[in-house]
């Protein structure tokens, strides 16, 4: 065993997270060297904007705008990809792996879309590809799933993995704000990007769920297989009704094993107000996992930000450095359980909250109940709350027993065609 005096790190992207990682590499050299067994030395930084070097006091000559100078550097052992986005990050990671460089990335889009190809390249070239920071920022998740929980058959994951939407939902719930106002506040505080669509529409959470569910269930789940629906159609009144019914509303990423198939979906959900996930507020993330041996486990913490995320990135770097020093290669493993498929959204079964505006007259509920009954949907409760005498309308809220998604969607279409129904204002799935 030959312990290297130093291990070279090449960093792609000195943005929010890259800056955080560079600060830790330069700021805690002795602690990191003690854990890694070698000094971790920042050898090259790939950036678009070379003026950034001034910000962190890093000497100018380690910066480059050319990938070749970083990936071709003989003393760069580990390349850390923190430029984000799908392209060119995917191609650069693949290129780095095929040159025999170990790679650490925080890129959920690349990992969720190109997982199997990148892992195969890493295996072929006997190098590591680690991506702990791609889900849940600083919360340890990938390693626990691949190491500490491997003895379990995982049956379910319920996760709050997008801090932006959780922040918005928290303000809507606590202050009765409308969605657009809560979004604006999140943007003012830097919790939502100028273009927040990937967060708001559940795309970001779908990337993360695809990664977690693939590892947890041994089934290759691409983002396209994850049904996703965002939070923008939730209104302040949905939160009022939820609270009255003892529920909270969260954007959950849900993956469940149901016999030989896997459900993978991201959408707003009513969850019991007294559940632990309901108490996760603001930008925090939490991931509830159910395994046959371990039972229920919850991971909770900061899902974003430079300090928390650099904790995960640096620990990946250290694990690779330890393996280099032990003379071990640990390419990522690929395990897919044969025959397991992703369940189409139409076939999932859950409970529903439906809010609708109807004519304020007798017999309306009978007509609606008939349609629901025809689709084998049974009602667990109905509340009629607000009436608008001028428009002669009333608002009713129906909670159903478990029913098939396809049946509910069809029944809602037929209900909306009733002359006594003004509109189906909203529906939200319920996870008890």
Catalytic residues: 208
Smallest separation (angstroms) from ligand NAP to the CB of 129: 14
Cβ-proximal residue to ligand NAP, closest one? 15
CB of 108 to ligand NAP, least distance (A): 6
The H-assigned helical ranges of 101-217 are 108-124, 142-143, 163-175, 179-188, 197-200, 203-217
218 vs 305 by CB, closer to ligand NAP: 305
Residue carrying structure tokens 């396209």: 224
Q: Which residues contact 49 (CB under 8 A, 6 or more apart)?
A: none
Residue with smaller CB distance to ligand NAP, 108 or 130: 108
Smaller CB separation from ligand NAP, 47 or 431: 47
3-state secondary structure of 377: coil
275 contact partners, CB below 8 Å, separation of at least 6 = 248
| Residues found near ligand NAP in the complex (CB under 6 A) | 13-18, 46-49, 82-84, 88, 106-108, 133, 137, 304-305, 309
Classify 308 as helix, strand or coil: helix
- Whether the Cβ atoms of residue 20 and residue 307 lie closer than 8 Å to each other: yes
**How many helices (H) does the chain have, and how many strands (E)?**
15, 18
Q: How far is the CB of 21 from ligand NAP (least distance, A)?
A: 9
State the nearest-atom distance from the C-beta of 116 to ligand NAP, in Å.
Answer: 19
- Compute the C-alpha angle 404/210/193, nearest 5°: 105
Q: 101 or 355, CB closer to ligand NAP?
A: 101
Q: How far is the CB of 293 from ligand NAP (least distance, A)?
A: 30
Q: Which is nearer to ligand NAP, 90 or 427 (CB)?
A: 90
**Is residue 56 within 8 Å of residue 14, measured between CB atoms?**
yes
Q: Residue 78 in 3-state DSSP?
A: strand
């Amino acid at each position: 065993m030959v312990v290297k005096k130093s291990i070279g790190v090449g960093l792609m992207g000195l943005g929010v997270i890259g800056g955080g990682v560079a600060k830790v590499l330069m700021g805690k050299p002795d602690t990191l060297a003690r854990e890694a067994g070698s000094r971790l030395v920042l050898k090259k930084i790939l950036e678009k904007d070379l003026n950034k070097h001034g910000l962190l006091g890093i000497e100018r000559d380690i910066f480059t705008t050319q990938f070749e100078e970083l990936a071709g550097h003989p003393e760069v052992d580990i390349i850390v990809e923190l430029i984000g986005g799908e392209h060119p990050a995917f191609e650069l990671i693949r290129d780095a792996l095929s040159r025999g460089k170990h790679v650490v990335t925080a890129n959920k889009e690349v990992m969720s879309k190109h997982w199997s190809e990148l892992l195969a390249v890493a295996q072929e070239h006997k190098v590591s590809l680690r991506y702990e920071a791609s889900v849940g920022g600083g919360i340890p998740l990938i390693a626990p799933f691949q190491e500490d929980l491997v003895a379990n058959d995982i049956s379910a994951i319920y996760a709050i993995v997008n801090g932006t939407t959780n922040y918005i939902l928290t303000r809507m719930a606590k202050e009765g704000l409308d969605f657009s106002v809560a979004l604006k506040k999140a943007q003012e505080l830097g919790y939502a990007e100028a273009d927040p669509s990937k967060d708001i529409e559940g795309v970001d959470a779908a990337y993360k769920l695809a990664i977690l569910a693939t590892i947890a269930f041994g089934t290759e789940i691409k983002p396209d297989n994850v049904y996703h629906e965002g939070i923008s159609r939730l209104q302040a009144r949905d939160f009022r009704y939820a609270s009255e019914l003892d529920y909270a509303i969260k954007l959950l990423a849900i993956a469940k094993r149901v016999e030989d198939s896997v459900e993978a979906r991201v959408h707003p959900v009513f969850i019991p107000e007294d559940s632990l996930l309901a108490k996760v507020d603001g930008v925090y993330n939490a991931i509830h996992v159910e395994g046959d041996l371990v039972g229920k486990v919850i991971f909770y913490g900061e899902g974003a930000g430079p300090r928390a995320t650099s904790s995960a990135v640096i620990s990946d770097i250290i694990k690779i450095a330890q393996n280099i020093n032990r003379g071990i290669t640990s390419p990522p493993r690929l395990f897919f359980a044969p025959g397991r498929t992703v369940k189409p959204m139409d076939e999932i079964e859950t409970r529903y909250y439906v809010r609708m505006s109807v004519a304020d007259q007798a017999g309306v509920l009978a007509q609606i109940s008939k349609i629901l009954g025809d689709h084998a949907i049974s009602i667990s409760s109905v509340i009629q709350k607000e009436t608008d005498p001028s428009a002669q309308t009333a608002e009713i809220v129906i909670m159903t027993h478990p029913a098939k998604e396809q049946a509910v969607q069809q029944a809602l279409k037929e209900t909306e065609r009733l002359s006594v129904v003004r509109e189906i204002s909203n529906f939200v799935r319920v996870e008890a």
